[in-house]
Chains A and B, each alone.
Chain A
Amino acid sequence: MKVRLLDIAHARSGDKGDTANVGVIANRPEWFPLIARELTQERVTQHFAGTINGEVDRFELPNLNALNFLLHGALGGGGTLSLKTDAQGKVYSTALLRMVLDVPDAEARALGLPSA
């Protein structure tokens, strides 16, 4: 079953120099393991391919049912140097939430995931 990340998680993003961070938080604690499994460093790197210039770092915060991603080279130089509308990376959060996950039907039903 296709599941929109937007429907099962929320997120906030910000900046540090030319790096944007995206913290993504499971809407329900029981959905966190699935999100942690699906949002691998590779998958997120692929998602942002062509949008950012650098690498992606990934950190787990199971205590907050959250993952933190650092998107390097994401802000056109960052801060005041950047010419971008989103120079401070405020909406990389929702850019990540565009991701659509492929979840086995049985698992999706057991977890009560909303279908895309």
Chain B
Amino acid sequence: MTERVVRVASGQGFWGDSLDAPRQQVENGPVDYLMLDYLAEVTMSILQKQKERDPAMGYARDFVGAMDSVLDAVTERGVRVVANAGGVNPPACATAIQAVAKKRGKSLRIGVVTGDDLLPRLNELVEQGHALAHMETGEPLETVRDRVLSANAYIGSKPIVEALSRKAQVVITGRSTDTALTMAPIRFEYGWKDTDYDRLAAGIVAGHILECGAQSSGGNCQYDWRNIPDLANVGYPIADAYEDGSFVVTKHPNTGGRVSVQTVSEQLVYEMGDPHGYITPDVIADFSTIRIEDAGPDRVRVFGIKGYAPTDKLKVSIAYKSGYKAVGTLVYSWPDALEKAQLADRILRERLERLGLRFDEILTEFVGASATHGALAGDAGRNAPEIQLRVGVRSDDRATVERFTREIAPLVLNGPPGVTGFAGGRPKVEEIVAYWPALIDKTVVQTHVEIV
């Protein structure tokens, strides 16, 4: 008798990832679940702005195309989709997906998870004494409350499990944790209980490996990068999960990329904090207990994971307006490219000073010399064939930032020689939407599942 396996495929690592990956994951081989992660920290605020302009928007539009491309697999082969594409408007997202299904003459059962959106309740919550203090600085939300654009609790696996148990073919959530999108279907299939901490933690680790798409199957891999085959046709990762919590990371045959102990290990340490306490709404996973071994070509076995009872809090992702920024660039060429760029920077700063412009921050980088590694790069930029001068400013006052953007172009004619690369025109002034992480009591957040 062969051991039962639940196969979860990752088809999207962020909103903006490959449009083709979801379809390839369901067409290049068998899978049970397709997991699509669309949300990054700032995505919710972008979606909130879209919803304010049009109440039928506010979700990841790419998901509509993705669903269209996998619809046959869902309706004819029983592949189920779990996605946090709902953003700040999961019901509208479901309506858009139903429209796609209807157009193709298919009927679809969609589970819609809501309850994570705390924006309409924010004043009430603060008045009830929930400080929603910034997790790093400890400041109360009060300091930025009038500038808040969105506020969403990170919710766990349970509402997704409920939607699946009510036979949803597609589950659409808002701000679910990325890892829950993978853990929930595995948990559902094996009937893991709330206190099966080790197995829930294993599902979270599987989720961590899958949540960034191809970043665990050869993409962005430092180890042996020259020899990673055919990244043009990279296969996205798949977790084959077993009842005991162990799983094998793999990818479809005849795809590019690589799944190895090294590619998976790099993803395991990505965005890691204290490895002993990876906190999620369902469980605390201990990454120091993860065992990992080669299980054949493009197969890595992961096992031995320990988990602990979760906390009584949920993390809240709050986005707020925090002023304006702009970044201007010019390119200086050999000879003495770095020196010329440095002189241009001094001239620019003197002019900004004379104009009386005050910035919260002004940052100069010399791309090609020290922009990414700073002083660690040594004097490698000294004889560079070209250097990009990159100056960024930030201020609460839009006009101040706007004025800065007019001071870059003049340097082409009235600054140091050997300058080019101003084809893009004036730098764009960008409104900054900043991120405010906070905690809230779990009891305050009630999720809801609706089948449509």
Interface of B is mostly: mixed
Size class of the contact patch on chain B: 35 or more
Contacting chain A: which of B66-74, B164-172, B372-380? Answer: B372-380
Partner of B269, one of A66, A91, A94: A66
B373 touches A95 (CB 8 A): yes
A63 touches B222 (CB 8 A): no
B275 touches A79 (CB 8 A): no
- Give every chain A residue within 8 A of B223 (Cβ-Cβ): 10, 25, 27
- Give every chain B residue within 8 A of A64 (Cβ-Cβ): 265, 268-269, 290, 292
B405 is an interface residue with CB less than 8 A from chain A: no
A2 is an interface residue with CB less than 8 A from chain B: no
- Give every chain A residue within 8 A of B289 (Cβ-Cβ): 63
Size class of the contact patch on chain A: 35 or more
Residue of B with least CB distance to A91 = B372
A61 is an interface residue with CB less than 8 A from chain B: yes
Residue with the greatest number of chain B CB neighbours at <10 A, chosen from A27, A59, A62: A59
A17 touches B270 (CB 8 A): no
Interface of A is mostly: mixed
Residue of A with least CB distance to B430 = A80
Contact flag A68-B272 (CB < 8 Å), given A81-B432, A94-B222: yes
Partner of B394, one of A24, A27, A81: A81
Give the 6 A-B CB pairs with smallest separation, nearest first.
A23-B269, A83-B392, A14-B271, A10-B223, A83-B363, A10-B222
Residues of chain A whose beta carbon lies under 8 Å from any beta carbon of chain B: 10-18, 21, 23-25, 27, 47-48, 50-51, 57, 59-66, 68, 70, 76-81, 83-86, 91, 93-95, 97-98
Extra pairs beyond A21-B269, A80-B322, A85-B371 (18, CB < 8 Å): A11-B266, A14-B272, A16-B273, A17-B135, A23-B270, A50-B374, A60-B288, A61-B269, A61-B275, A63-B291, A64-B290, A79-B435, A80-B434, A81-B322, A81-B394, A85-B390, A91-B373, A94-B222
Residues of chain B whose beta carbon lies under 8 Å from any beta carbon of chain A: 41-42, 135-136, 220-223, 262, 265-276, 287-292, 304, 322, 325, 327, 361-363, 365, 367, 371-376, 390, 392-394, 432-435, 437
